[in-house]
Amino acid sequence: MPGRLDSVEESATLRLADLTGELKKQGRDILSFNLGEPDFSTPANIIEAAAKALRSGKTHYAPSAGIPELREAIADKLKKENGIDVAGNDVLVTPGAKQAIFYACFSILEEGDEAIVFDPGWVSYDACIKMSGGKTVWVKSNEDGSLPAELPEHVSNKTKLIIINSPNNPSGAVLGIKDLRLVADVAGDNGLYVLSDEIYEKIIYEAKHLSMGSIIPERTITVNGFSKAYAMAGWRIGYATAPKPVLQNMLKVQQHTVSSPTTFVQYGALAALTGPQDSVERMRLEFKQRRDVVIKGIRGMGLRCEMPQGAFYAWPKVDGKSEEWAERFLEAGVGLTPGSAFGPHSDDHVRMSYASSMEDIKKGLERMAKLLGGGEGRTEDKRQR
């Protein structure tokens, strides 16, 4: 008898990162560009706030929804920066943004329901939908990352949820107001919820971040966290705000699974929001420098690659199956993630994370260029770059 997890694939990004780590242990010289984790250290004021909380005895259970001070600080941030008018009681603090995404899917989807995910899309959306008993309906994004006008054609009487992610993992595309209004109109016309994953909002370059919750708050679940903007990936701390019926169900799931986020970590998150923000800007500028080097290098190999407007990923197009290309690059000493992990329409891309040192990035690009040096598999883009 098939089980509920039989259709759920292992996380491709984590699996490939583990494989790369294993090859390194075997003595192989591998440069890994798989994981989406900032390589910077967590800012000192955040570490000190968590350490102070530990020393002062903040080691007991916290309120399941999060400590009041942090919930209030998040609500204040959402009002000022995102145009989402909520109070602290409208916020749920979670052990990472991924957990909040799962809670939302589990709270909204019943067996057989459908959720729309734009392709390319982060690997765990599909898994969260399936674990919730739902089915993923993949909708291919336009080549530049914008959303297709044909979106309404993919809505059925089983559709309950649309998931958007801006800036996008893996493409780095940023949704504009036209995209958000399209989704808002479809959601409003059909009584759907929208899950807006905004984890990369601070890592944005020429574009401007817009929040769906400021357009259609009564239908939007906004998810965010601290791992990307504040280099706090290992701290596992995120948050969500949502319409009250959904938020209440998300809280129930948290109460009966993890109980609450780690107590002292929440004080670190509070310091992240209320303390100096200069480290966020320094990291953003460094990522932008790396992006420019990566895109120039990839295009110089003859590969077509859209300019990412946010996040820290390059999304080059390859000629052939992405897993075969990932294997070839791995043999050349470069760990990349095959595009097939990000949706059924993305098997002709690979993802390269540039959350690595500039030294490693330049070495990795050299190895990739050497592999492509003979011209085999080149997908020359004749358009203006």
Map out the domains of the chain as residue ranges: 12-41+278-371, 58-274
pLDDT digits (tens, 9 = 90+) for 129-154: 999 999 999 999 999 999 999 999 99
In CATH, the architecture of 12-41+278-371 is Alpha-Beta Complex (3.90)
Residue percentage of the chain with pLDDT more than 90: 89
State the average pLDDT over residues 234-257.
98
CA 306 to CA 316: how far, in whole Å?
A: 7
State the average pLDDT over residues 365-381.
70
pLDDT at 16 (0 to 100): 67
pLDDT at 337 over 60: yes
pLDDT band at 215 (very low <50, low <70, confident <90, very high): very high
CA 106 to CA 240: how far, in whole Å?
A: 14
pLDDT at 202 over 70: yes
pLDDT at 376 (0 to 100): 41
Of 87, 63, 86, 76, whose CA–CA distance to 266 is shortest? Answer: 63
283, containing H or E segment: helix 278-300
Q: Domain 58-274 falls in which CATH fold?
A: Aspartate Aminotransferase; domain 2 (3.40.640)
State the average pLDDT over residues 238-264.
98
pLDDT at 26 over 90: no
84 vs 23, which has greater pLDDT? 84
Q: What value does the CA radius of gyration of the chain take, rounded to a whole number of Å?
A: 21
The order of strands in the sheet holding 313-314 is 313-314, 350-353, 337-338
pLDDT at 384 over 60: no
pLDDT at 13 over 80: no
pLDDT digits (tens, 9 = 90+) for 263-286: 999 999 999 999 999 999 999 999
Mean pLDDT of the chain: 94
Structure tokens at 196: 């807006």
Sequence-distant (6+) residues with CB within 8 A of 60 are 263
